[in-house]
Amino acid sequence: MHDLGYARLDTDRARRTGDPEVVYGAGKTPEQLVGILRTLHAAHPERAVLATRLSDEAMKAVQSEVPGAVLDLEARAATIGPLPEPAGTVAVVSAGTSDAPVAAEAALTARVYGAGVARVNDVGVAGLHRILAARADLDAADCLIVVAGMEGALPSVVGGLTGTPLVAVPTSVGYGASFGGIAALLGMLNSCAPGVTVVNIDNGFGAGVFAARVARNAR
Amino acid sequence: MHDLGYARLDTDRARRTGDPEVVYGAGKTPEQLVGILRTLHAAHPERAVLATRLSDEAMKAVQSEVPGAVLDLEARAATIGPLPEPAGTVAVVSAGTSDAPVAAEAALTARVYGAGVARVNDVGVAGLHRILAARADLDAADCLIVVAGMEGALPSVVGGLTGTPLVAVPTSVGYGASFGGIAALLGMLNSCAPGVTVVNIDNGFGAGVFAARVARNAR
Amino acid sequence: MHDLGYARLDTDRARRTGDPEVVYGAGKTPEQLVGILRTLHAAHPERAVLATRLSDEAMKAVQSEVPGAVLDLEARAATIGPLPEPAGTVAVVSAGTSDAPVAAEAALTARVYGAGVARVNDVGVAGLHRILAARADLDAADCLIVVAGMEGALPSVVGGLTGTPLVAVPTSVGYGASFGGIAALLGMLNSCAPGVTVVNIDNGFGAGVFAARVARNAR
Amino acid sequence: MHDLGYARLDTDRARRTGDPEVVYGAGKTPEQLVGILRTLHAAHPERAVLATRLSDEAMKAVQSEVPGAVLDLEARAATIGPLPEPAGTVAVVSAGTSDAPVAAEAALTARVYGAGVARVNDVGVAGLHRILAARADLDAADCLIVVAGMEGALPSVVGGLTGTPLVAVPTSVGYGASFGGIAALLGMLNSCAPGVTVVNIDNGFGAGVFAARVARNAR
Amino acid sequence: MHDLGYARLDTDRARRTGDPEVVYGAGKTPEQLVGILRTLHAAHPERAVLATRLSDEAMKAVQSEVPGAVLDLEARAATIGPLPEPAGTVAVVSAGTSDAPVAAEAALTARVYGAGVARVNDVGVAGLHRILAARADLDAADCLIVVAGMEGALPSVVGGLTGTPLVAVPTSVGYGASFGGIAALLGMLNSCAPGVTVVNIDNGFGAGVFAARVARNAR
Amino acid sequence: MHDLGYARLDTDRARRTGDPEVVYGAGKTPEQLVGILRTLHAAHPERAVLATRLSDEAMKAVQSEVPGAVLDLEARAATIGPLPEPAGTVAVVSAGTSDAPVAAEAALTARVYGAGVARVNDVGVAGLHRILAARADLDAADCLIVVAGMEGALPSVVGGLTGTPLVAVPTSVGYGASFGGIAALLGMLNSCAPGVTVVNIDNGFGAGVFAARVARNAR
Amino acid sequence: MHDLGYARLDTDRARRTGDPEVVYGAGKTPEQLVGILRTLHAAHPERAVLATRLSDEAMKAVQSEVPGAVLDLEARAATIGPLPEPAGTVAVVSAGTSDAPVAAEAALTARVYGAGVARVNDVGVAGLHRILAARADLDAADCLIVVAGMEGALPSVVGGLTGTPLVAVPTSVGYGASFGGIAALLGMLNSCAPGVTVVNIDNGFGAGVFAARVARNAR
Amino acid sequence: MHDLGYARLDTDRARRTGDPEVVYGAGKTPEQLVGILRTLHAAHPERAVLATRLSDEAMKAVQSEVPGAVLDLEARAATIGPLPEPAGTVAVVSAGTSDAPVAAEAALTARVYGAGVARVNDVGVAGLHRILAARADLDAADCLIVVAGMEGALPSVVGGLTGTPLVAVPTSVGYGASFGGIAALLGMLNSCAPGVTVVNIDNGFGAGVFAARVARNAR
């Protein structure tokens, strides 16, 4: 257990659960993030650490002051340390370009948690041909993450095409009566496709953790 | 102007607007409905009268006590008097069997307001092949009415397939976080397909009026 | 299909549907918008491109770096390329001066999508004489767009005066219990005038698309 | 102070405030209501007592067991004892026939609280000619009560026609996104007509009390 | 009718209704406000003009560029032209110091609309002695305006002490589950004191207009 | 641990915590309640058992089939076994007669959990003299429970009069915009009196448990 | 494809997807349910059919008129035909006895969809020892379903104890501010345990489908 | 009574109630806060004054211009004057590091109101071992304050471990469907642990006042 003053770090947690260490960047200063990443990495240099929800300033600080850190600009995240061998496959499907950051966070998280990842971008429900064209990718995955804002209809359409376990991520993309993602969240909770599960609005991280756990354990 | 005690009937309204007379059945007793239908029909036997939202008792009373009335059991509605010549076509698309009463109300209303009507049933978004198979019907119509409950995703999918004007009707079908149709309503208001308009939950009547006005005026 | 890195552009979509290309400006940088407009215009210089929801910076960049672009300051939008011949007429009615940007977006959109457009401004329900004076314009149109914030009562009043198809647009104008346009949205969804349809809060674009499709196909 | 076991009655309250005694009938048994009315009337037979929100059973019990009680079937209310001399005028305006019970409760309450009352029925915003025809009645009153459900737009229209103080009463009339009167309540709170005040959904009684106090004190 | 480009001014409205001209400052630039005030004042220098919801910049611009304008810093408002003779009395009661701006707006509005005004400040329900001490002022008024945020309980307490007509104004003062004034609004709509009416959150202006109309017409 | 098929009873829980056994009656059949009460009482006849939220049928069954059970008709509850010696005092204050069942549940619960209880009924905020008259009772208690529906203002007034710890219980009494107790709940959460805590709507039981724990431990 | 008049049955769907046929019983008459079950079973007697959300009447009708049907009274469901060989394990954890029907529906669904099932009942968060005692069962499962009403905290506690994929099911158990399951739903969506996914309120069926798909594919 | 122009200070209130003077810093300028603190301290230098919700600027101004003031940076608060002798113990338990400011405000408030305080930090429900390790501290306290955001489950877990009176404080920590603390608030109101009471979102102050009153009066 390390005590940095602004955070107590349980550096043995990863060993116990097999999951990587994760740092939730929102609300932390760049200096704090740099300190936490260095400490976690030094304690277990053989395992990955993931930092999410990084501000522009935090990404710059990590890049310049944490040697070995790898930034994912789309996901607004960083990793340090070797990623685990991928086991199983998570396919991350996203509707529009505005949903890309959440999809990227989900994809990176799934990868750091030990799954292989495939991305299927830009397949909104108003353009069915793109979804239909991606059908083989959907069937090949062990778990799907489907990311969409606005009306959140994509999980229903994808869920109707395949029997692969499907985690839906509503995003806050939209305006007016989208109410910051509530419309998409409700749409996904009420999906007519059986077997769709849902996470919190913009919670790419949670979807990635869940899907990786499913994929890692798949045949 | 006729005064029945429980209702003042403006029997010349139809002549002024070209629309039929309409009686909203909810909250009226069977006796009141029978009286209103007889009075309206007697005033203008050459035009149609439409009664909607009829209870079981009201439908029985209308059938036995209003000669010439035609019941639509699915729509829970009745008409009396000759329907107008159909002009243009409204296609009414519905997702599930539970949405059928609202779709039937929309279809009957559009017909009584002067449009021809085509029905496309049972085309939920989790079964895309049925929607794709109906594409010719969608393109042939002058206005579409798309009826769906739960997540309300069908208008987005249909709206992505065609450029025909599309009115979406959310239904109260669902449970839990469907909140009596709110999820479907929000989904439709946030549709990613451009040019989707929406009416109140379960308001097949309003959609039918609007669509008939569009279709009647179409080339 | 053009790939600009930050956007994949389907430059043949317009040919397939007959609609113009549209760029939703919110969330895009001025540089991205300039790039997209140039690419779309170059691919099909004979057709119109519409860019909406432009920031001040984006409007300046478009004006100085996209030759031939025409700005609509009130609508916060731009077009490039020749507009289609107008077919049919959309009348855009708005309640207060604060609703003008949404009304202007609706009007420009309807025009770019191929309809002729008439504007009727500043006709709030608390001043009935202005609405009554505009009655001829309302009857002459093939489709009405009625834009209002606060209590959103204008569509009910206009819808009681005319049988023209009417699309209502709630705006986020108001404060306190207007809840960013929810009061107006609910008012319009519950309109006592039959045949009123509604779009999302501030969604002038969606109303314009819908109304143009109705007007283009009108007799 | 009388103690009936199920109620403590402050039979001198009326003398102190000049207002009548009022019994809120919801949740009370017919027997309790009969007992309360008899006790209040016996204590001050020279003043009026008002009982509101009576069930069918309560109205029957009052009629048969409280001699001198006068029932108002539309308002679902009863009075006993002489009404005060009317002072000033309250005009009660209502939109649709379904709003009539709330309007009747408001009118009876205003009368029992000492104002003269005029009724203006069936003047929905989708039929402006009826409202315009009632303009003289609106201007002649000392206070207006405007009752409407659905979108609740009537107070805005009436408030734009006159400078008389106006109390708006939203009703629970409607379905779907009317949410039991919330749409009308929000519409009235956001009225663009200045000087509109609002009471709780279906609260005809509260509007009547307020308006009577204004009218009684008017020149 | 004056057309300033950014506003059409109906300079004869005041003559028709007897009310002053009012300019709602929110969303207008200082330059626009200066222009409107000058135009309205020039058209009818013998009557008052009221400008509300002024920003700091707007107040400075009005002070330096509109000779004769009088600023009310607490109400964030300005008047120009002679105020009418006061008729009747409006008492404005407010709960906490944070509610003062809304109370000041209500008081100034009532004064400009022709009533005399008394202020009773800082009388929260958690300190009953202050309310009880103000009882004579409450009884002497023709109409009360009671302004409160947080739980909005003050109108119930005041309404239990007096039979004077009472308009309640919820304010957005509070945090967390006050939801920007919703808690106070609901509290006031559900007041157990009979005859309380309510206006929109922070709508001191509307309460002032209403109360002045009541007071001006009082005996 | 007893297993009745429909319930597993942990008959030693009371010994461990010092609290009585409690049976939540909602959703249980009269037969189940009779069986549970008998079993719990037989296991520890020297301690009290409390059953809450009993239907009419359940109360009858308990009365006839559970010898020694004592019914509290107002609280819709029953106890069996000797009540503990009272330690400290809880004062239960309620606003209106409709709030009485919740207040009675709170009072009985506090008593069964070991506190002495005083009741102060019928002290709504619109009648301050009754509250002021009860001030000595409020100061004498170790913990207050204040029960109110509608606007839920009573805790603020009581909390301003005394420094005794105060638990507020919102009730579902009201209609329209009371939203089944939400208005009262929000009012209490936003109380301007410092140190007011709140429980769920109609949760007299929870307030009683909490207050008894405070009172039992008081000097 | 069979057409029964009241339903079109796609009797080949199961063959295509490997999932059983499912009949959603809510809103269907006992006669319709009997007819559908017979038809589906006759078409593919070698596979299971599942009927959920059965009313008392429907359960009686199925028992007496569908030979071979097996009722699950707790789940309010029925199956007919041989269940598939179980593959993998789903553990269904539930908080209180009121949550049992939803947990039973989830368990039966998972079993019919091909997974083995373990039940862990009555492990509310206020009794941690029971949860801790079940830890081995949690770790042994391939997927967890955690069912809870009221505050919905159980998934967070369980999710903190194990890395097994966890699907949370909020139930409508509770009252007052539980809002029919919304409190539990929000609690689960905001779980601080990473990797929790959620389905609609009371949607045991959806959780069962999802979990079975995960378990069937597990190593 | 001191009148500073911007505030009326009742400098004898503390003497009457035994509580300290409190200044709510939100919405006050640094200059106002400095003035109020000096005046209150000068009036009663022998007692404590507490200032909460201080901005960065306010904390700097207090530090440099109010000699003797003691800042609590974590709580964003300041005190001046001697703290009272601690009587009884309040234990403040918090879930995550983001909840620390609210927990610190609660702890400081309880201390200034006269209780001794113990802190138990960083004991989220997803890590039960930390909670279990703190059990002795929980049992030793006279009142618990449990602070948590996100799903707000901690009070249920703590309340299941101990019979100490427990006040729950929801925080606005979270995102998406946490809705600024609503999820935590609802979770706490619906806690399955009996005897949990709740205060407003982020209201550490109110919880501290209440808990201190309980602890001061404890045996």
Q: Is 80 exceeded by the pLDDT of residue C2? A: no
**pLDDT value at position D16?**
57
E177: closest CA of chain H, how far (Å): 6
- Which pLDDT band holds residue G129 (cuts at 50, 70, 90)? confident
Q: Is 80 exceeded by the pLDDT of residue G49? A: yes
Report yes or no on chains H and C touching (3+ CB pairs under 8 A): no
G149: closest CA of chain H, how far (Å): 9
- pLDDT (tens digit per residue) in B41-64: 999 899 999 999 999 999 999 999
DSSP C218: B
Mean pLDDT of H38-45: 93
Which residues of chain E have a Cβ shorter than 8 Å from any chain F Cβ? 95-96, 124-128, 132, 150-153, 156-157, 159-161, 174, 176-179, 182-184, 186-193
8 A C-beta contact, residue C41 and residue C33 = no
Q: Is 60 exceeded by the pLDDT of residue H215? A: yes
Q: Is 80 exceeded by the pLDDT of residue G89? A: yes
Q: Count CB-CB contacts under 10 A for residue G13.
A: 16
8 A C-beta contact, residue D166 and residue C161 = no
* pLDDT > 70 fraction of chain F, expressed in percent and rounded: 92
Q: For residues B114 and B212, what is the distance between their CA atoms, to the nearest angstrom?
A: 6
- pLDDT (tens digit per residue) in B2-18: 666 566 565 555 555 66
Candidate from B98, B122, B176 with C-beta closest to G201:
B176
- Which amino acid type is present at position E111? R
**pLDDT value at position C8?**
56
- Which pLDDT band holds residue A4 (cuts at 50, 70, 90)? low
Contact H26 E175 (CB under 8 A): yes
CA distances from E4 to A52, C99, E34, G16 (A): 52, 18, 12, 70
Which residues of chain D have a Cβ shorter than 8 Å from any chain B Cβ? 97-98, 122, 175-178
- pLDDT (tens digit per residue) in G64-77: 999 999 999 999 99
Contact A175 C26 (CB under 8 A): yes
Q: Where are the domains of chain C?
A: 2-80, 89-218
**pLDDT value at position A7?**
60
Q: For residues E167 and E187, what is the distance between their CA atoms, to the nearest angstrom?
A: 13
Determine which of B90, B138, B197 to mutate to test the interface with C (most C C-beta atoms within 10 Å).
Answer: B197
- pLDDT (tens digit per residue) in B159-184: 999 999 999 999 999 999 999 999 99
CA C146-C151-C155 angle, to 5 degrees, is 25
Count of all residues that appear for chain F in the document? 219
Q: Which residues pair with H93 in a beta bridge?
A: H120, H146
- Which pLDDT band holds residue C12 (cuts at 50, 70, 90)? low
Mean pLDDT of G88-97: 94
Candidate from E97, E122, E177 with C-beta closest to H185:
E177
Candidate from G8, G27, G180 with C-beta closest to B98:
G27
Question: From H185, which residue of chain E is nearest by alpha-carbon distance?
Answer: E177
**pLDDT value at position H7?**
59
Which chains are within 8 Å of E by 3+ CB pairs?
C, D, F, H
Q: Which residues in chain F have their CB less than 8 angstroms from residue E191's CB?
A: 126, 150-151
D177: closest CA of chain B, how far (Å): 6
- pLDDT (tens digit per residue) in A38-86: 999 999 899 999 999 999 999 999 999 999 999 999 999 999 999 999 9
- pLDDT (tens digit per residue) in A121-131: 988 887 788 88
Question: From G172, which residue of chain B is nearest by alpha-carbon distance?
Answer: B176
Q: Which of C11-20, D45-54, F200-209 has the lowest mean pLDDT?
A: C11-20
- Which pLDDT band holds residue C16 (cuts at 50, 70, 90)? low
Determine which of A23, A105, A182, A200 to mutate to test the interface with H (most H C-beta atoms within 10 Å).
Answer: A200
8 A C-beta contact, residue G122 and residue F8 = yes
G202: closest CA of chain B, how far (Å): 7
Tokens of C127: 């001043």
More confident residue, H206 or H126: H206
Candidate from C6, C7, C185 with C-beta closest to A177:
C185
CA atoms within 13 A on the CB side of H156: 33
**pLDDT value at position H124?**
85
- pLDDT (tens digit per residue) in G148-179: 999 999 999 999 999 999 999 999 999 999 99
Contact D206 E197 (CB under 8 A): yes
Q: Is 70 exceeded by the pLDDT of residue H6? A: no
Q: Is 70 exceeded by the pLDDT of residue A18? A: no
Mean pLDDT of G92-113: 95
Candidate from A164, A185, A209 with C-beta closest to G194:
A209
Contact H189 F199 (CB under 8 A): yes
- Which pLDDT band holds residue B125 (cuts at 50, 70, 90)? confident
8 A C-beta contact, residue E213 and residue E110 = no
**pLDDT value at position B14?**
57
Q: Is 60 exceeded by the pLDDT of residue H1? A: no
What mean pLDDT, rounded, does chain A reach?
A: 92
Q: Is 90 exceeded by the pLDDT of residue G219? A: no
Mean pLDDT of F110-116: 97
What mean pLDDT, rounded, does chain H reach?
A: 92
For chains C and E, CB pairs below 8 A equal: 23
Give me the DSSP letters along chain A: -EE-SS-EE-TTHHHHHSPPEEEE-TT--HHHHHHHHHHHHHH-TTS-EEEES--HHHHHHHHHHSTT-EEETTTTEEEESPPPPP-SEEEEEESSGGGHHHHHHHHHHHHHTT-EEEEE----TT-HHHHHHTHHHHHH-SEEEEEE-TT--HHHHHHHH--S-EEEEE-----GGGGGGHHHHHHHHT-SSTTEEE--TT-HHHHHHHHHHHHHTB-
Strand runs (DSSP E) across F153-201, as ranges?
166-170, 196-198
* pLDDT > 70 fraction of chain E, expressed in percent and rounded: 92
- Which pLDDT band holds residue F19 (cuts at 50, 70, 90)? confident
Mean pLDDT of D180-201: 95
Q: Which residues in chain F have their CB less than 8 angstroms from residue H189's CB?
A: 185, 198-200
Residues contacting residue C122 through CB under 8 Å, at least 6 positions apart: C94, C95, C96, C97, C130, E8
Contact A192 B96 (CB under 8 A): yes
Mean pLDDT of F95-109: 94
Mean pLDDT of E50-55: 97
More confident residue, C68 or B27: C68
C177: closest CA of chain E, how far (Å): 6
DSSP G217: T
Name the helix (H) or strand (E) containing G17.
helix G13-17
B56: closest CA of chain A, how far (Å): 30
- Which pLDDT band holds residue B117 (cuts at 50, 70, 90)? very high
Question: From F125, which residue of chain E is nearest by alpha-carbon distance?
Answer: E157
SS3 F201: coil
Q: Is 80 exceeded by the pLDDT of residue G18? A: no
**pLDDT value at position B74?**
96
Q: Is 60 exceeded by the pLDDT of residue F74? A: yes
Q: Which residues in chain A have their CB less than 8 angstroms from residue G207's CB?
A: 197
ipTM of the complex: 0.92
Name the helix (H) or strand (E) containing D92.
strand D89-94
* pLDDT > 90 fraction of chain H, expressed in percent and rounded: 81
Q: Which residues in chain D have their CB less than 8 angstroms from residue C151's CB?
A: 151-153, 156, 186-188, 190-192
Contact G165 A213 (CB under 8 A): yes
Q: Is 60 exceeded by the pLDDT of residue A172? A: yes
Contact H122 A8 (CB under 8 A): yes
Q: Which residues pair with C22 in a beta bridge?
A: C50
**pLDDT value at position B218?**
95
**pLDDT value at position D5?**
57
What mean pLDDT, rounded, does chain E reach?
A: 92
- Which pLDDT band holds residue A202 (cuts at 50, 70, 90)? very high
Architecture of the domain spanning C89-218: 3-Layer(aba) Sandwich (3.40)
8 A C-beta contact, residue H131 and residue H107 = no
Longest Cα separation, chain A: 54
Q: Is 70 exceeded by the pLDDT of residue E16? A: no
Strands H77-80 and H89-94: unpaired
SS3 D130: helix
- Which pLDDT band holds residue H125 (cuts at 50, 70, 90)? confident
- Which pLDDT band holds residue B27 (cuts at 50, 70, 90)? confident
Mean pLDDT of C50-70: 97
Q: Is 60 exceeded by the pLDDT of residue C39? A: yes
CA distances from B124 to A157, G12, G25, H109 (A): 9, 17, 18, 57
Q: Which residues of D80-115 are buried (b: 16+ CB within 10 A; e: fewer)?
A: bbebbebebbbbbbbbbbbbbbbbbbbbbbbbbbbb
Q: Which residues pair with H72 in a beta bridge?
A: H77
Q: For residues G148 and G145, what is the distance between their CA atoms, to the nearest angstrom?
A: 10
* pLDDT > 70 fraction of chain D, expressed in percent and rounded: 92
Q: Which pTM was predicted?
A: 0.93
Report yes or no on chains H and G touching (3+ CB pairs under 8 A): yes
Question: From D19, which residue of chain E is nearest by alpha-carbon distance?
Answer: E163
**pLDDT value at position A2?**
59
- Which pLDDT band holds residue A94 (cuts at 50, 70, 90)? very high
E29: closest CA of chain C, how far (Å): 13
**pLDDT value at position H212?**
97
**pLDDT value at position E69?**
97
Which chains are within 8 Å of D by 3+ CB pairs?
B, C, E, F
